[in-house]
Amino acid sequence: MWQWFYRLGSPKWFYEMSGKWLPWLYVLMTVLMSVGIVWALLFVPQDYQQGDTIRIMYVHVPVASISLACFPLMAVAGIITLVWKMKLADMVAKCAAPIGAWFTAVALATGAIWGQPIWGTWWAWDARLTSMLIQFFLLIGVIALRSAIESPDDSARACALLAIVGAINVPIIKYSVEWWNTLHQPASNFSMDNESAFGPEIWVPLVIMIFAVYCFFVISLILSTRNEILRRERRAQWVQDIVAVEKV
Amino acid sequence: MKAHRRKKLTIIGFIATGLAVAIGLSLYALSNTIDLFFTPSQIAAGEVSDGQRIRIGGMVKEGSVEQSQDSLHVEFVATDYSHDLRVRYDGILPDLFREGQGVVVEGAVANGVFEASRVLAKHDENYMSVEVKAALDAAERDRAMPVMATEGGASGT
């Protein structure tokens, strides 16, 4: 029953399989991203209150929601590292941290750019914005902790624990707009009706952009993890073989 | 799953649950300070002393905005539909500021009036196009119309 699980944990198997997935992901991302961006920038109607400023949403929401996926991913990888001592899980966790930090930073930046014209301020210390800033600092903390401890096993264990603890912040970010009163508005309710608020003409391109940015995230993570695999397994025979082929 | 792994998993589970409960309780205890603003009802209940610098949040009451002709001085009523609070402000309002719109105002209460130093606009999550908004407004007018017609008829007789 655990066979597939252990095979998934083999860096060699992951390296070979991800090499096959990547071209498909490139195609998928290019198609989704082009359709999504053109649709969002040119064909989405102006909002009745915010006008063209609404288009910032098509970058802000995908980037912000995917940045929230990062900590749960690192926490699951952390549990696998602690319990099963699987090397691949730790490699993925290590590579996810800087990518997640960038996503969080971009979410904060696009939010500020959106907030300035609409709210009248770049920043407010409300629960949503503050918890998101905490996520950014936690990710910086994970990256710093990784390089602060010299022994690879110890740093893997410490980072795994910090990731599990840090994941508690994710539901706080998600529900902050409901639990407390904030400047940030709550999540929109999808409506199937084009004659009501947040109808398909607004959310269909948003969903496309979310999938496109997810592809981008997965591609970044896979590429980064492949590098990490080659670096850590550089003494393994199969890596030597790959290097030998590349050199010829 | 081997016994030592199950044991480790249980320990992690306990640590995570314990931390989540601890953080949850502290956030619950702090919820008043985490809230970005007070509501007009909280002000009316006397939760804030005069002169204390705070933020209030509410809706700009319909028909309450009085803009000075020769200065940036503006007065309006912020409401949460159970209590009202009069706001005085000298400065530039955000573009989204209008009647029926949510606002967050920084300042302090003085003699029952809120002296504002900054006004931020709050918007809701209902994005829609100009056409959809117009159609929704028209539908609302149509719903309101028959009521007004019967009322008019009643007063006529």
Give residue-wise pLDDT tens across range A187-199: 888 888 877 888 8
| 3-class secondary structure, B45 | coil
Place of tokens 């790959």: A242
HSE, side-chain direction, 13 A CA sphere, residue A124: 29
Instruction: Using an 8 Å CB-CB cutoff, list chain B residues near A183.
Output: 36, 104, 120, 122
User: What does the radius of gyration of chain A's CA atoms come to, in whole angstroms?
Assistant: 20
Structure tokens that stand for A8 in this block: 């998934």
Check pLDDT > 80 for residue B81. yes
DSSP secondary structure letter of residue B86? E
The model's pLDDT over A156-181, given as tens digits with 9 standing for 90+, comes to 999 999 999 999 999 999 999 999 88
Q: Which among A50-64, B9-23, B91-105 has the top mean pLDDT?
A: A50-64
Q: What is the pLDDT of residue B146?
A: 61
Mean pLDDT over B7-13 rounds to 88
pLDDT score, position B104 = 93
| B94-123 mean pLDDT | 90
Helix (H, G, I), strand (E, B) or coil at A244: helix
- pLDDT at B91 > cutoff 60: yes
* Residue B66 phi, psi (nearest 5): -120, 110
Contact B94 A125 (CB under 8 A): no
Low-confidence ranges of chain A (pLDDT < 70): 1-2, 248
Give ipTM to 2 decimals. 0.78
Interface with chain A: mutation pick from B12, B36, B39, highest number of A CBs within 10 Å: B36
Model-level pTM?
0.87
Q: Is A10 left (phi over 0), alpha (psi -120 to 50) or beta?
A: beta
Distance CA(B37)–CA(B28), nearest Å, equals 16
Between CA A193 and CA B44 the distance in angstroms is 40
Residue B147 has pLDDT above 70, yes or no: no
Pull the structure tokens for residue A213. Answer: 């940015």
Whether B8 and A82 lie within 8 Å, measured CB to CB: yes
Amino acid identity, residue B73? H
Closest by alpha carbon to A139, among A201, A94, A89? A94
Chain B residues within 8 Å of chain A (Cβ atoms): 5, 8-9, 12, 15-16, 19-20, 23, 27, 31, 34-37, 39, 57, 93-96, 104, 118-133, 135-136
Would you state the pLDDT for residue B110? 87
Give A20→chain B minimum CA distance, Å.
31
- In which residue are the tokens 């029926």 written? B100
One DSSP character per residue, A180-221 reads: S--SSPPPPPP-S-TTSTT-HHHHHHHHHHHHHHHHHHHHHH
Residue with tokens 């970044």: A220
- Interface mutation target, options B1, B39, B105, B129, chain A, most CBs of A under 10 Å: B129
Q: How far apart are CA A4 and CA A18, in angstroms?
A: 16
Average pLDDT of span B73-79: 93
Q: Nearest residue of B to residue A50 by CA position?
A: B96
Q: Which two tokens stand for residue A44?
A: 């989405």
Q: What are phi and psi of B70, to 5 degrees?
A: -115, 15
Determine contact, residues A176/A127, Cβ cutoff 8 Å. yes
Q: Do B125 and A187 touch (CB under 8 A)?
A: yes
Element (H, E) at B122: strand B113-122
| Higher pLDDT pick, B3 / B144 | B3
pLDDT for res A1: 60
Distance from the B69 Cα atom to the nearest Cα atom in chain A, whole angstroms: 23
Is B122–A186 a contact, with Cβ atoms under 8 angstroms apart? no
* Residue B147 token pair: 């009521």
For residue B80, give the amino acid letter.
D
Query: Measured on CA atoms in the order A127, A130, A135, A141, is the torsion positive or negative?
Result: negative
A:B CB pairs within 8 Å: 120
pLDDT for residue B151 is more than 70: no
Distance CA A58, CA A53 (A): 10
